[in-house]
Amino acid sequence: MLTNLQARDVETLVHPYTNLVAVRETGPLILERGKGVWVHDVDGKPYLEGMAGLWCTALGYGNEELVEAAAAQMRKLPFTHIFGGKSHDPAIELAEKLKEMAPVPISKVFFTSSGSEANDTQMKLVWYMNNALGRPKKKKIISRMRAYHGVTIASASLTGLAGNHNDFDLPIAGVRHTTCPHYYRLAEAGETEEDFATRLAADLEALIIAEGPETVAAFIAEPVLGAGGVIVPPKSYYPKIEAVLKKYDVFFIGDEVITGFGRLGTAFGCEALEMKPNSISIAKALSSAYQPIGGVMIPEDMYQAMLQESSKLGSFGHGYTYSGHPVAAAVAVKTLEIYERESIFERVRAKIPQFDARRAALEDHPLVGEARGAGLVGAVELVADKKTKQQFDPKLGLAAKCVAFCQEEGLILRNVFGDAITICPPLVISPAEIDELFDRLTRALDKTLDWAVREKLLAA
């Protein structure tokens, strides 16, 4: 029977990424408070938040400096906008800090409220730029299968997941998808990681040629694919891809919405994967999720094209009410200050070996085919047969069952593409809490195995 809060919830809210029928029967997990890497439900039960919310609460819960930064800015100037030549100090300071941190040459920053808006904006800016450059046919955007770039009409089209397209009439025209760089699933027999990377670069080149290089404007990529199952490309993948992009004058968009600000032990994920994009999308950990804010980090050549079109048309006709919102910007400034002052990225690097070791050890579990990841983000992929990599029938919802067992154990994780379970704790997680996370996940896997055996779901 649903509690009063659960009953009120199902009669008033639509839950994203949720089985809307099932949640009406089970009711949602209602959380009430959080501190550090722990959140508590309305009954007081603690959960280790193993997903940093949605890959975003990097500094954990209850950070008083961020709370005070928001409160102080609300008292001083709770809202103004940056339309029509207006501005304010928090947005200016944040843009300055981001330019200083940028891993590639960046000229300007355009602020949004989310990663979806940032990637939507990226597509528009590429089109705008090519119109300015007299290339009106150079508009197609290439993404990758299993990529995740958001859920607006444009960004969901860039996303390479069927669940984001089915019955939404997506993707829109002009979006193409190339091969996912998942070596475990997609490598051919006897193919090395180097050979695999070479083949994927050839796949991209073949797609560009088939579409017509004069029509292909940009390629977009996450350093590590997140919601597609935490896919880490082979080491030589991005240098090989970039050679193809340069050959055909294709703009490279880096989606750092998940990997930006320390997740891989570097300020930006591209620094850890030999990846050199032209522009960068940011969000999530920019404010440790304490305020909704994202942005696009724009290179000088794109900005010059924007100036040209703005001069021709009389205005740059793009922007959001909350672009550079003063409270969100002030919180983001404080977040970046904490990252630097507390050496958060360096401390992440120190914790990676322990995280890697505990993650890799999960491959010994009978249900785990691959335990993959980079930095403080990972995934375990459940399989029916470890030798053949045979997958479970998707209708069984095995990973969802495991995530439910995790919740019983007081651990919050997510199941994403296929039977992958993702792990992405706050960056401030302690060594003892890393062990606690993996101990709880192991117990949940054991419970899932017991259930699978009882149901006779494993290969003989």
Kindly list the structural domains of the chain, giving each domain's residue range(s) and its CATH number in brackets, ordered by start. Answer: 4-62+343-454 (3.90.1150.10), 66-341 (3.40.640.10)
pLDDT tens per residue across span 105-154: 999 999 999 999 999 999 999 999 999 999 999 999 999 999 999 999 99
CA distance 295 to 293: 7
Give the per-residue pLDDT at 418: 86
Cα dihedral sign for 22, 23, 26, 31? positive
CA distance 178 to 144: 5
Q: List strands edge to edge, sheet with 294-298.
A: 108-112, 294-298, 279-282, 251-255, 216-221, 140-144, 175-178
CA distance 308 to 275: 29
Q: How far is CA 106 from the centre of its chain?
A: 21
Q: What is the mean pLDDT of residues 342-366?
A: 98
**Which secondary-structure segment (H or E) carries 140?**
strand 140-144
pLDDT tens per residue across span 328-352: 999 999 999 999 999 999 999 999 9
Percent above pLDDT 70 for the chain: 100
Task: Categorize the per-residue pLDDT at 366 as very low, low, confident or very high, splitting at 50, 70 and 90.
Answer: very high
CA distance 206 to 255: 23
Task: Categorize the per-residue pLDDT at 417 as very low, low, confident or very high, splitting at 50, 70 and 90.
Answer: confident
CB-count exposure of residue 91 (10 Å: 0-12, 13-18, 19+) = buried
Nearest in space to 67 (alpha carbons), one of 340, 261, 294, 288:
288
Q: What is the mean pLDDT of residues 370-385?
A: 97
CA distance 450 to 453: 5
Query: Does residue 457 carry a pLDDT above 90?
Result: no
Give the per-residue pLDDT at 459: 67
Task: Categorize the per-residue pLDDT at 413 as very low, low, confident or very high, splitting at 50, 70 and 90.
Answer: very high
Q: What is the mean pLDDT of residues 195-206?
A: 98
